[in-house]
Chain A
Amino acid sequence: MRSSSSGMMSLALLGLILALGTSSATLAADAAPAADPAHEVVILSYKFGPDVLTVPAGTTVTWINRDEVPHTVASSDKRFTSSPALDTGDHYSYTFTTPGTYTYFCTLHPFMVGKVIVEAPKASTPTATPGAR
């Protein structure tokens, strides 16, 4: 079991972040609502799964640690906010707004490497525009 104090701290942190509304990164314990599985990376057996995740811009990606040891999610080139150490069952989320390829690794086990590919939003369906005359 996680100690209640650390659980409380995580929830308090989450509350603070939500209240401020300025950060796009959140950390939560098991109590957090489940993320959309399509935007989820499960950390298991010292691997990020999937190791390459492709999402449209504006997507919140959630990492969940299902291993018995702590892991981190750290941006290789510091282009997104790195997670704190995630204990078993901890979640970490980040919203990617800018298209690009974001490589990350676990600072505790640097051979664990993953990638999030953020694509530009699909061009909206062309609609008939009255031509200027």
Chain B
Amino acid sequence: MQHPETQADEVQNEERRKLLKCMAWAGAGVLWTMKGGVLQAQTLADGAAAPGAGADFSFVQISDSHIGFHLEANPNVLGTLQEAIDHINALAARPAFVLHTGDVSHLSKPEQFDTAQQAFKGIKTDAMFFTPGEHDTLGDDGAEFFKRFGKGSSGKGWYSFDYRGVHCVGLVNVFGFKQGSMTSLGDEQLAWVEKDLKPLSASTPIVVFAHIPLWTVYQPWGWGTDDAAKLYTHLRRFGSVTVLNGHIHQIQQKIEGNMTFYTARGTAYPQPQPGAAPNPGPLTVPAGQLGSYLGLREVRQVSVKGPLAVTDTSLAIS
């Protein structure tokens, strides 16, 4: 039998060990580079790649801010969004633009969008681009969301833009929910994508972003898009395709030919890994560790002909 005090000490030490391990990982950060279709990781700590070094330009992806959420997993989602913004503003290279891949709000309420919009105004960047999450389109098909964040979009919120030779396509996959299956893009949007990409040469780097993963991360939880394969038929001819999504509040990645898929951490709360719990949902992590599960992503366009370099930064880095 252990003395209760000793036991308590041990539990505390174990927690401390876990925390230190976590902080070491988070504090180091990971830089993802892609070479010949192979993803390579290196720590930022070794100084081999200072953020922004040698890049033509960079941009940042943030996601899943869930303004309005207030439960145990994160009672201060505005605070953690603000932390993400502080990280963006502290980057060595000012990002050309910031993408938000959806779930700005938790319940599509005007005041939640207003609070988020106010916070976004503090980001030091030239432009922001958005795509809605399913939490942004509750009850009004996204009317309040698009009023604030949907400028220049067509159809049900999709659009594209070009930045220094890179073609960026914002897609919407939160209107195609059908009973018992994953969401979809829909034929109207897919036809638009085909037309949008048609004039481009195969050497144009393509960035596609949408809220829900455009590849099947975990079908039983609806973490995928039913008709994504139809989208791939329009993307396959391009030499460099980077697909960025949110929704699942964690980093997952996959390479398929010239297409590389990434999901981002959220700024609000983590979710379990696919199948690691009976169901998805807000994950409450030990006190002091939340920042390690939240974060933002910096994408550096190293050269127009080469692959993009992707760096994920957790909020635990200070």
Contacts and interface: CB of A to CB of B under 8 A. Distances in A.
B179 interface: yes
A111 B177 CA distance: 10
B108 interface: yes
Give the interface SS of chain A, mostly helix, strand, loop or mixed. loop
B239 interface: no
A109 B109 CA distance: 20
Contacts of A121: none
B280 A46 contact: yes
B222 A110 contact: yes
Interface in A71-124: 76, 84-85, 87-88, 103, 105, 107-111, 113
B60 interface: no
Given A46-B279, A67-B281, A68-B71, A111 B220 contact: yes
Contacts, number: 57
B179 A69 contact: no
Interface residues of A, number: 24
28 contacts: A3-B111, A5-B111, A6-B109, A46-B279, A47-B279, A67-B281, A68-B71, A69-B282, A70-B138, A76-B179, A84-B138, A85-B107, A85-B108, A85-B138, A87-B107, A88-B71, A103-B179, A105-B179, A105-B180, A107-B177, A109-B221, A110-B178, A110-B181, A110-B182, A111-B180, A111-B222, A113-B179, A113-B180
The 9 tightest CB contacts between A and B, nearest first, are A46-B279, A85-B138, A105-B179, A110-B177, A68-B71, A68-B282, A45-B279, A107-B177, A76-B179
Interface of B: 70-73, 106-109, 111, 134-135, 138-139, 177-183, 220-222, 278-282
